[in-house]
Amino acid sequence: MIRCMIIDDEQHAIDILEHYVKQAPYLELVGTSTHPIEALQVVGEGKVDLVFLDIQMPELSGIDFIRAIQGKAKVILTTAYSEFALEGYELDVVDYLLKPVRLPRFLQAVQKAMTLMPPAAAAPATEGVVDDYLFVKTESKGKLLRINLADIDYIEGMKNYVAIHRGSQKTLVYTSMKELEERLPAREFMRVHKSFIIPLSRITGIEGNLLRLQGVSAEILIGDNYKSELMELIRNKMIR
C-alpha cells in the first residue's frame, strides 16, 4: 500500500485528486493540505511515500518543497503551467501532471510511481504480490484497459507495438518490450527472446529452442542471449 498526501492551495484541485485516489485500491490517503509548510512536518516524519504536489503556492512553491523534504517521499507534480516541467524533472520527480488532471493520466503516473517504490510500499493491501495488474493504453485513443497478470499467456513484440495474449484475446499496446519487462514482477515473468516475455508458471516443457506453455499453441522461441538464464532457472527445479 502506498501512503500518499495531496498538497495544493486550491481545495477544488484537492477534491479531484482525492476522488481519483479512492479509485486506486493500492493508494492510502494519509491526508490533504492547503498549507505546504504544515505538510512539511508530516512528510518529514516519514509518514508519506508519495506526494501529489502543486507547484505554484503562496507560502512555499512546490519546487522549494521538494528541496526541503530531501528525498523523503516520491513526488508527482500537479500544475496548470507546463513551463515548470524541466525544473521538476531535474529534481527527480516521478511524473508531471497538467491540470485539469484526467483519471487515466493520473493512474499512469501512479503506476510509474509503483515501479520506483520498495516492495513493502508498492504491494497492494489486499494481495500478497506486487503489481498483480497493469493499466495499458490500447489502440483506441484515450482508452485504458486493466490487464490482470494472472491472465497473461505470453507477450509478443510486434515492431512499434507489444501484443499481450490472454486466451483468445490479443491486446495491442503502444510501448516497448523493454519498458513492459521492467514493469512486470521478475519472479513471475521472464524475457526468453527479443520478441517474447512469458509467465514462468505457464512453462510445461522445452524442446531445443522452443518453449512450451500451458494452453498456448503458438511457438515461443528461446533466444541465444536469454537461454542461459532460463536454463539456470530450469536446473534449479530439476529432480536429479
Set of cell numbers at residue 194: 527479443
Q: Provide CB contacts within 8 A for 190, sequence distance 6+.
A: 197, 198, 200, 226, 229, 230, 233
pTM (predicted TM-score): 0.52
Phi, psi of 74 (to 5 degrees): -75, 155
Half-sphere exposure of 30 (CA within 13 A, CB side): 20
Q: Provide CB contacts within 8 A for 97, sequence distance 6+.
A: 52, 76, 77, 78, 79, 105, 106, 109
Per-residue pLDDT of the chain (240 residues; tens, 9 = 90+): 789 999 999 999 999 999 999 888 788 899 999 999 989 988 988 889 999 999 888 888 888 999 999 889 999 999 887 665 455 556 778 888 888 899 888 988 898 888 887 654 554 433 333 457 777 776 665 567 888 899 999 999 988 889 999 999 999 888 889 888 888 887 789 999 999 999 999 999 999 999 999 999 999 999 998 988 888 777 766 554
Radius of gyration of the chain (CA): 21
Whether domain 133-237 has CATH 2.40.33.10: the reply is: no
Do the domains 2-122 and 133-237 sit in the same CATH topology, yes or no?
A: no
Question: Where in the chain are the domains?
Answer: 2-122, 133-237
Q: In CATH, what is the architecture of 2-122? A: 3-Layer(aba) Sandwich (3.40)
